[in-house]
Amino acid sequence: DAGVIQSPRHEVTEMGQEVTLRCKPISGHNSLFWYRQTMMRGLELLIYFNNNVPIDDSGMPEDRFSAKMPNASFSTLKIQPSEPRDSAVYFCASSLTKAFFGQGTRLTVV
Amino acid sequence: AQSVAQPEDQVNVAEGNPLTVKCTYSVSGNPYLFWYVQYPNRGLQFLLKYITGDNLVKGSYGFEAEFNKSQTSFHLKKPSALVSDSALYFCAVRDPAGASKIIFGSGTRLSIRP
């Protein structure tokens, strides 16, 4: 298995633009997590899904953030409109018991 | 609500000495506990887990961790540190009841000096 695949690896966008981050989880895993990592806040859980259903989105910082999981093999995290303070590394992870992480998307909003 | 704490932002150890990275947790019921390591510009890599059974669990790269239920701790240890162990270490907890989230601690930067 190729592991958790995230795209793009790097994204630079202008403030106000829409950003979509993508994740392909490991086949057979039933949970999917989106995390954000910054120096100031560490590793924050934004949202997680179980069997494609959003269970807890209390970590999503604002209504500008939304996440979907239309099927077991794909999830997106969208920021619209983006702001400079959204700059961070965004990780997707999938799990049965332990979490397997993707390589992350480094987002820079200028 | 589940939570996990890593009280040390940084741990400095000389190569060859034993190392300990501390972690305490709070969760209802019996927890699933994990340690992960992160190298620069990389995702988190799994080191070891405690689900049930022996309180001392062994993982990758010679690391081990001891589950202590009375102290609600899950400290990461290694008998002899290597310079290559220098990285960011995260402790994580999961409540096994239901479809639960995995919560990570704030991370501890481990620095091994030659």
State the DSSP string of B71-91.
TTEEEEEESS--GGG-EEEEE
Per-residue pLDDT, A48: 95
Among chain A residues, the shortest Cα distance to B91 is held by A43
Per-residue pLDDT, A33: 97
The answer, for B43 touching chain A at a CB cutoff of 8 Å, is: yes
The answer, for B90 touching chain A at a CB cutoff of 8 Å, is: yes
For the stretch A30-43, pLDDT in tens is 999 999 999 888 89
Per-residue pLDDT, B112: 97
Tell me whether residues B92 and A99 touch, CB distance under 8 A: yes
Interface test with A, best of B36, B45, B101 (most A CBs within 10 A): B101
Q: Which residue is it, tokens 């120096």?
A: A39
The CA-CA-CA angle for residues B80, B56, A37, to 5°, reads 75
Q: Three-state secondary structure along A12-70?
A: EECCCCCEEEEEECCCCCCEEEEEEEECCCEEEEEEEEECCEEEECCCCCCCCEEEEEE
Measure A102 CA to nearest chain B CA, in Å: 6
Per-residue pLDDT, A108: 98
Other Cβ atoms closer than 10 A to A38: 13
Per-residue pLDDT, B87: 97
**Tokens, residue A80:** 């619209």
**Tokens, residue A6:** 């995230």
**Predicted confidence pLDDT, tens digits, chain A (110 residues):** 679 999 999 999 999 999 999 999 999 999 999 999 998 888 999 999 999 999 999 999 889 999 999 999 999 999 999 999 999 999 999 999 899 999 999 999 99
The CA distance from B2 to B103, in Å, is 7
Per-residue pLDDT, B42: 87
The CA distance from B28 to B67, in Å, is 15
**Predicted confidence pLDDT, tens digits, chain B (114 residues):** 788 999 999 999 999 999 999 999 998 888 899 999 999 888 899 999 999 889 999 999 999 999 999 999 999 999 999 999 999 999 999 987 766 889 999 999 999 999
Tell me whether residues A103 and B92 touch, CB distance under 8 A: no
CA B76 → CA A14, A64, B68, distances in Å? Answer: 42, 38, 12
The CA distance from B32 to B95, in Å, is 6
Among the listed residues A42, A43, A31, A15, the one whose alpha carbon sits nearest the alpha carbon of residue A23: A31
